Amino acid sequence: MSIYADAKYSEVPVETKQALFDEVKADMRYEHQLYGCYECGICVAACPSARFYDFSPRVFAQVMAREDVDTFYELLNDSVWDCSQCFSCTRCPRQNNPGAVITIMREVAVNHGLQSAKEALKSYSRIIYKIMSTGTQVAPDMLQPDFFPDWGPDVKQVSENLDVWRRCVPPETMHTTELAWDVSEKTRLELYMIWKLTGNLEMIEKIDEGIFMILEEVMEELLEENGYDIDDFENLLEEDEE
């Protein structure tokens, strides 16, 4: 039963909640992240998200330890994306790591294509495309005034002078505008192989089908140019599950 008087998601079958909870608990990393909780609140005091959201790492530690699947489901949908993933909560005197539990919970939310995960990552998808297709997370050409209006007039100046200013940076690897640095084709190819072999494209498909289709096309093209068939790269993790 949920710890909240105004508990949500009562319409979701408890079996669904239990299955997701079990999946989090079955992750190999889980047993090294929670060792019990004093309820001392040090994690909350250290947590940046707790200051601005209705968010508490202590609640995560408590709910997971109590195996309260109703509140777990609520946290999975309504709270998990507020975490800053800074791991300030590792100041815990019991050596709990609520931030790492949240990483696992997010992974489960993505793998199941939860609507709340889709919402949380809606405007973030283009970043997923950038990192998975180029091998660098952000690029100079992302510094656009309409994307960063709150960063001041310098962003406009950078975007207006981008090509020349990038060539004013001495390291030769950094004369790029669409990538943070010049990643070689060989290395990009190896990255695509890793994404395929670990089932990462399947994860993206569950969260954003549009980005998945574009990514698959980009990867297929480079793999084919180098004599590979994208279907030759099976998901190695599925082999392990079998």
Partner 1 sequence: MQQTSADKVFNPPTLSSREFKRDNPPPTEDYREKLFELEKAGELEVQRVPEPYVELETKYGRIKKIPYQMTWHHKSCGQCGHIPGYSTAIFWLNRKLGFDYHDPRDQTSCTAWNYYASSTSNSAAQAGIAVRNFSQAKIDGYFPVIHCGTSYGHYKETREQLLHYPVLRRQVRKIMDRLKMPFVFPEEIVHYSEWVHAMRDRIAEMQVLDLSNVTVTVHPACHYHKLVVEDAVYDRDLFDGQRTAVISGLVEALGARVGDYSTWHDCCGFGFRHILVSRDFSRSFATTRKIERMKEEVNPDVTLTHDTGCVTTLDKSQFAAQAHKRNVGIPVMSDAQFAALAMGAHPYIVCQLHWHGVDMKPLLEKMGIDHKKAWAEFEVQAERIKAGEIEYISWEEADA
Interface of this chain with partner 1, residues 30 to 69, rule: CB under 8 A: 32, 46, 48-49, 51-53
**Cβ distance to partner 1 smaller for residue 69 or 143:** 143
**Cβ distance to partner 1 smaller for residue 65 or 138:** 138
Residue 227 per-residue DSSP state: T
Helical (H) or strand (E) element with 186: helix 185-197
Interface of this chain with partner 1, residues 123 to 152, rule: CB under 8 A: 123-124, 127-128, 131-132, 135-140, 142-143, 148, 150-152
Site string for partner 1, 91-120 (x = CB under 8 A): x-----------x--xx-xx---------x
How far is it, in rounded angstroms, from Cα 111 to Cα 103? 12
How far is it, in rounded angstroms, from Cα 11 to Cα 79? 19
Token pair 């004599």 is found at: 227
How far is it, in rounded angstroms, from Cα 57 to Cα 121? 21
The one among 112, 165, 220, 230 contacting partner 1 by CB under 8 A: 165
Contacts with partner 1: how many residues (CB under 8 A)?
Answer: 83
Interface of this chain with partner 1, residues 2 to 21, rule: CB under 8 A: none
Note the residue count of the chain.
Answer: 242
